[in-house]
Structure 1
Amino acid sequence: MKHAKQPPCLYLEVCCQNEQLRVPLHTSIVLFLLSYCDCKSFRVFLVLGDGSSSEPLKSQLPESLSLSDIQVDELPKLVSSCRLPAALDESGQICKAGLAVVLRHIINKSVEADPSRKDVAALLGFKKTCLKACAEVSKWTRLCETGIPSAVEEHLQKPSDVGKQLPLPVVTLESRLAEPVKVHNDDKIRRQKLQKQKRREMLEQGGDQVSKEPPP
């Protein structure tokens, strides 16, 4: 069965609070990214309920974006089963949902449409599979994504006597690699070993008691 192709669509939530339409934070973030990337790859829908219109929100939304209204009961079945924001592909068979996933999808589509947008591509982090912000959450990720590459690049541009003093990120990496391997379930494994040891000791004690009993 062939499905009629349509432009990729984005579905963004609009909520009602105190009888007034509000743009949730996650919707605002997506709209900002669309505006920043100047992304024209999607048809963007604002999902409304109770027959309302987004007209009162026009002054709060980026003027560069072409937005359409859609009611909750008009959503494609695949999208209606997902938590917004959500992106539906051209075939209507693949839906990407969740803020981080949708943001990454917008960035990738924007770079595909205009490879010269290096500033947009730079928003993605390690292997282009995560947002750059992830590097600010984990010290280890930040070291791998920014610290070491920056130190190497700086050394290549301004070579120094590495024999006297290594760049701090490289020293940190060496120190990290010198640490024993950490197992996430290390506590569980340790408890299991202790339990086995206790059972073994109890069995040995029981055997000693049997051997010490005098024959009848």
Structure 2
Amino acid sequence: MSKEVNTSKELSTEEKIKQAAAKVFVHKGYAATKTRDIAEEAGINIASLHYYYRSKDKLFELVIGEALKRFSKMMDSTFNNDMPLHEKIKIFVEKYIDFIRENPMVPLFIVAESQHNPETVDKLMANERTLDKLESQFEELVEQGAIRKMHHAQFMMNMVSLTIFPFLMKPLLLHKVGLSLDEYNDLLEERKEIIPEMIINYLYLKKPT
């Protein structure tokens, strides 16, 4: 019985440390964050933090780094294949909304860190694959007269910004617009259909089949 209680306490403490670390990394950035800052935010002493996580690097990898790498892989796997572009749009928006729901601190960290220490984000998200397939697919569809002539980066900026905005502005939407949490979550689900429809309707000159 005592072993089960201890395990529960350990899990609770670990989760408290991870949540504190995510908050401090967002507010201070990776370089300025000290393990002592995380311990203070979690309400524990530095020795207890080191018992669970030996270094700031390890904590960062767990709460931010792994999530960023999963997002990067998700984006590459969605766009670097032979699927029709309009299908990729629908899949990406749905996966991106679900990803940010599970990792709400990640977009906040990216926005903050990109201003002060952009090489941190570049390093975490870099991998061997690129969006070359998306670029060539765009060029082909333009030549066919199927879509507007547009740089594929414009397309990505439109789609990502439409998806991420409700998460960055959640406090405003809840407190100033007056949405309840349930209403907010319902709107997020609706956006899985609204965003692809908006992007596809603007981008395509011919209805995709």
Report the structure number with the largest CA radius of gyration: 1
TM-score, scaled to structure 2 = 0.27
Instruction: Say which structure is richer in strand.
Output: 1
RCO comparison, higher one (Cα < 8 Å, 6+): 2
